[in-house]
């Protein structure tokens, strides 16, 4: 359990679960990290992130992600799945003008991001305030060797483009990912109404 902690001005990510399962991450705060506040990735499953507050990440507040199909990381750790993000808050995430000009802001940025082929994750009763890109995002990274981060960069946001799937019924079924009861200023147009 990761509970009742405060992270501030992290150089990369405030809280992360890599190849880690059956954890509860609750009642934490995260402010001003360089890339993102909370990350669940690389074979992590059955984790619960609840009642956390994240603010002012340069790119993303909360993200559950898999590497793209065919990568050695995905082959080594397997897919990320069956994680729950419930009753969390994210606000004012987004890149600085310098980061946009330098080409280091990913096109899939937002408040709550479900990235690539990850499946059967529940995004419920969360709230996003004014994040760049969108408050709730379903996206896939698009490789681009011509950028400093080797994926397509922002602007514009590149969302609702998922073709990768590790399970959950495939992209036509949002890979089994669900979004319910969330509050936001903006949401990807492909996601269900809340």
**Tens of each residue's pLDDT in the chain, 194 residues:** 889 988 888 778 999 999 999 999 999 999 988 899 999 999 999 999 999 999 999 999 999 999 998 999 999 999 999 999 999 999 988 999 999 999 999 999 999 999 999 999 999 999 999 899 999 999 999 999 999 999 999 999 999 999 999 999 999 999 999 999 999 999 999 999 88
CA–CA distance, 135 with 131 (Å, rounded to integer)? 6
Is residue 114 one of the residues assigned to a domain?
yes
Is residue 185 one of the residues assigned to a domain?
no
CA–CA distance, 135 with 173 (Å, rounded to integer)? 20
54 neighbors 32 (Cβ within 8 angstroms): no
The boundaries of the domain holding residue 128 are 2-180
Is residue 189 one of the residues assigned to a domain?
no
Is residue 188 one of the residues assigned to a domain?
no
Is residue 147 one of the residues assigned to a domain?
yes
Is residue 193 one of the residues assigned to a domain?
no
- pTM equals 0.95
Q: What are the two backbone dihedrals, phi and then psi, of residue 123, each rounded to the nearest 5 degrees? A: -115, 100
Give the chain's domain count. 1
């Amino acid at each position: 359990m990761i509970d009742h902690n405060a992270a501030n001005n992290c150089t990369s990510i405030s809280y992360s679960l890599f190849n880690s399962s059956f954890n509860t991450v609750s009642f934490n705060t995260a402010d001003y990290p360089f890339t993102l506040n909370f990350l669940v990735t690389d074979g992590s499953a059955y984790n619960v992130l609840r009642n956390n507050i994240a603010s002012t990440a340069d790119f993303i507040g909360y993200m559950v992600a898999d590497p793209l199909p065919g990568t050695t990381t995905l082959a080594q750790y397997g897919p990320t799945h069956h994680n729950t993000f419930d009753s969390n808050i994210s606000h004012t995430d987004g890149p600085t003008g310098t980061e946009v000009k330098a080409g280091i802001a990913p096109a899939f940025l937002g408040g709550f991001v479900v990235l690539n082929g990850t499946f059967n994750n529940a995004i419920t009763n969360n709230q996003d305030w004014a994040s760049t890109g969108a408050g709730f995002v379903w996206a896939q990274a698009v490789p681009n060797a011509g950028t400093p981060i080797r994926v397509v960069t922002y602007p514009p946001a590149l969302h609702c483009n998922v073709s990768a799937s590790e399970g959950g019924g495939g992209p036509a079924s949002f890979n089994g990912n669900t979004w319910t009861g969330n509050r936001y200023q903006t949401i990807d147009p492909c996601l269900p109404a809340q």
